[in-house]
Chains A and B, each alone.
Chain A
Amino acid sequence: MVAPTAEALQTRSVRFRIKRQDRPGRPWRWESFDVPVEPGANVISCLQWIAANPRTIDGRDSNPVAYDAGCLEEVCGACTMLINGQVRQSCSCLIDQYAPRDGDVMRLEPMSKFPVVRDLMVDRQRLFHALTRTKAWVPIDGTYHLGPGPQDTPQSQQVRYKLSECMSCGCCLEACPQYKLEEHESRWDKAFIGAHAISQARLFNEHGTGNVLASDRLETMIGPGGVSDCGNAQNCVKVCPKDIPLTESIAAIGRAVTIHSIRKFFTGK
């Protein structure tokens, strides 16, 4: 709605060095683009500019860079990538903060823990599969009206709300030394499930009705790729864009798993 002002039209230029791959199985390459940057520009607005002007710095005609994007306000998690080696959402990456001077370089790469579909776009299906493994849901009876849910204190709500802000972006997995790229779906149930899913197990175990499935979730967390695969590097919590207390969740599930195992040992269930 806002007409560009004179100062907005005064632009500088930032060099984007982008890791590109045409499709799975093809070799990757670097391509560089010089992008005029308006005040307030972010990585997405620069990728949009490149899409409209796909000419590399050596004057070669290229094509638009493929990338995932959605809300552009850091609530959907789609546009996650590596920017200057750090995993984050590209929409909230403001150029003025990351590359303040004329001619600064921004390096964009796809996340390394998921298979590349094309350029900066990766396939994060394994991440959603982990939510199924965790039974990350409340097993309601159905959608007919049955009155309100369980009572919840404001303190408990604040804990659950924070955990529930996880947008499945994958930052915690990219930063995790224990989480490795798995090209084949057959490995997903064996490989480390990741901090996000452990935190979701905690979220649903905290809920009055979700708790009904608590032992199923803990069984998953005891199994291969479960909570014991965490190497305690604590990188996950540092890169989480929503400041979710992932290490607290890992500790809480770790304790719950221990109690669950002891109980199982004595009671057999």
Chain B
Amino acid sequence: MNTQRRVIMVGGGLAGLAGTIRIAEAGLPVDLFSMVPVKRSHSVCAQGGINAANDIARQQGYSEYEHFDETIYGGDFLQHQPPVYEMVHWAPKIIDLLDRMGVPFNRTAESQRDLRLFGGSLYKRTHFAGATTGQQLLYALDEQVRRWEAQGKVNKYEYWEFLWPVIETDDAGRRCVGIVAQDVRTMQIRAFRAEAVVIATGGCGMIFGKSTNSVMCTGAAASRCYQAGAWYANGEFIQVHPTAIPGADKLRLMSESARGEGGRVWVPRTKADRRDPRDIPENERFYFLEEKYPKYGNIVPRDIATREIFDICVNQGLGVGGGNMVYLDLTHLGREYLELKLGGIIEIYRKFAGEDPALVPMKIFPGVHYSMGGLWTQYTAKDDLRGMAMGSANSMMTNIPGLYAFGEVNYQYHGANRLGANALLSCIFDGLFCGAGVANYVLEEVTTTSARLDQSIYDAAVSQQQEIVDRLINGRGMESPYQIGRELGEEMTAASTVVKSEQRLRQAIEALHQLQGRYQTIGLSDTGMWTNQNLSYARALGDMLKLAEVILQGGIDRKESRGAHYRTDFPDRDDANFLKTTVAKYDPDTGRPEISLEQVETGLVPPRARTYGKVAASTDTSRPTETVSV
């Protein structure tokens, strides 16, 4: 058995890879677990770019502080401010590092890194590599991890699924000392020892059926940690991206960079106008975002753009052809410009929708995209709240010592709504900044190494997981996991995305309980023990059903509207009662979440009204000004 102190990283996206690099650099071996080869992680789907203050923006009055303020304002003041402050100050250094790793950032004529405009900012501060920035960043980190792997400092366990954290309790309390994982090809289940475990497994879009997420983004890993005692915070904050291409299997992201580079959102002013969009004259087009938000126009933050599009289609019936669709128009920008700046996404639209965005306006609709909420994590603020203490062992540690959460799977940085191009930043920042904290925890705070723990702890953890698998394999029920998954997705999308209400959320919880009941009687069509994807899905579905309840219950308890969470029955932001984090704790007796509220650290920027300069639009008569909160 290996007696050296080591770290387990679960997940090989940007957060997991950045963390792996930093921890390996600190001299600790890393066992890297991923359901897919890490180069195929969901981070590849990120398109638009990564934000950082830069020299040009500085000369226009921008700085890290403005980036900080934009992020807090965009997040409707729900995030703890010290971690955000630290992150935005690291941003320019992270861009430099990625540049050194060879990321082909777009360049200006003078060989400088090019910049583009993005949602929630009036300054160009988004660095990009075509329209596949996430892919390019992921590849750069993947290459560095391969380098560490070649030196024997990183062991990859690809096609291994995280099943459960191993938590040991002694006189000093409980702590995480390893994981149980399953090889999804051989179906072997075994335990792995480590001094610390980092969960970096991304979001939970699959709970909503169709989303912009990759198929492995089920939220199962986060749910398993939650069921094992880790807290889950702000689950109700799910970002619905304003522009996605509807599809039979998923909703494909159409990057915000399309609007950042000048794309315009519009619908015909006449209901169910059947004309070819190119035949509709300018004065018969309703550029509703530009009219209502003259300052920000098409680059208002995502929650606002999404609600406006939803309102135009669902409430006002102005969607294209009377359906749930609006135009995202790039035709005025010219093919050469589009290929240079937006090539990747133009190609995706061409391939999947079969039309050329350089010639015809794209048809898009909002789709579930990102989870602002996630595993509850800690941090140590500097005394003046301006940043986090470097190297602190509790940086992004969950409430279980030794168990960390990096990237989208934690609840930090983005509050009630994430700004575009801040996700890549927060994932890499978590890995680099908090990876140092993990190393310090392992080297300085762990007194009894996992190698000295009794094997029975790990054996018991494996048997527990084996029992769950056996129960699924031997179940002879008639319910199909795919049918339950489909119904879960439809119900969650209908009840808990753009517009919510107490009555509808309660109805969804009822439906969820029925699905949870039916889940007890599922039967698998594949009961073999070799690469059984039927089993892996069924197993994850059980965990998705648990996490869905956290999302719904958080939505019920939060009786206000803030960022991505919009309640028709409580349309205003309510700072007096709800400038708080919702923290869900799993009750093993009932299988349900207990939700409590926790204070948010807002000591640097006091909350203010979040309007983005909204004015009444010419044809906007029907609708409350829901986005003007407070």
Contact = CB atoms under 8 A, between A and B. Distances in A.
B40 A76 contact: yes
Interface string A26-56: 0000000000001111101100100110100
Which of B244, B534, B537: most chain A CB closer than 10 A? B534
Contact of A137 (B105, B143, B248, B348): B143
Contact of B102 (A64, A118, A138): A138
Interface string B159-193: 00000000000000000000000000100000000
A78 B324 contact: no
Contact of A2 (B144, B146, B324): B324
Contacts, number: 215
B591 to A, nearest CB: 26
B36 A1 contact: no
A232 to B, nearest CB: 28
A72 B531 contact: no
> What secondary structure prevails in chain A residues at the interface with B?
loop
B136 interface: yes
Residue with the highest number of chain A CB atoms closer than 10 Å, among B150, B247, B248, B252: B248
B104 A118 contact: no
Interface string B17-54: 00001100100000000001101111011000000000
Contact of B214 (A72, A124, A145, A204): A72
A108 to B, nearest CB: 15
B250 interface: yes
A174 interface: no
Nearest to B37: A128
Given A66-B531, A66-B533, A137 B40 contact: no
Contacts of A209: 100, 102
Interface in B319-356: 323-325, 344, 348, 351-352, 354
B283 interface: no
B250 A1 contact: no
Interface residues of B, number: 82
B352 A164 contact: no
A94 interface: yes
A72 B252 contact: yes
A51 B481 CA distance: 10
Contact of A63 (B136, B147, B247, B534): B534
A2 B365 contact: yes
A44 B249 contact: yes
B45 A1 contact: no
Given A1-B497, A165-B132, A210-B102, A142 B25 contact: yes
Given A41-B248, A143-B22, A209-B100, A22 B106 contact: no
Contacts of B132: 75, 165
B478 interface: no
B608 interface: no
B526 A78 contact: no
Contacts of A148: 95-96, 99-100, 113
A64 B525 contact: yes
A186 interface: no
B143 A138 contact: yes
A54 B525 contact: yes
Interface string A134-166: 011111101101111101111001001100110
B525 A62 contact: yes
Given A38-B248, A152-B107, A154-B108, A1 B493 contact: yes
B483 interface: yes
B530 A153 contact: no
Nearest to A64: B534
- Nearest 8 Cβ contacts at the A-B interface: A63-B526, A52-B482, A149-B99, A137-B143, A45-B249, A118-B531, A149-B100, A45-B248
Given A73-B45, A118-B530, A204-B102, 7 more contacts: A52-B482, A63-B534, A76-B41, A77-B40, A131-B143, A132-B149, A140-B144
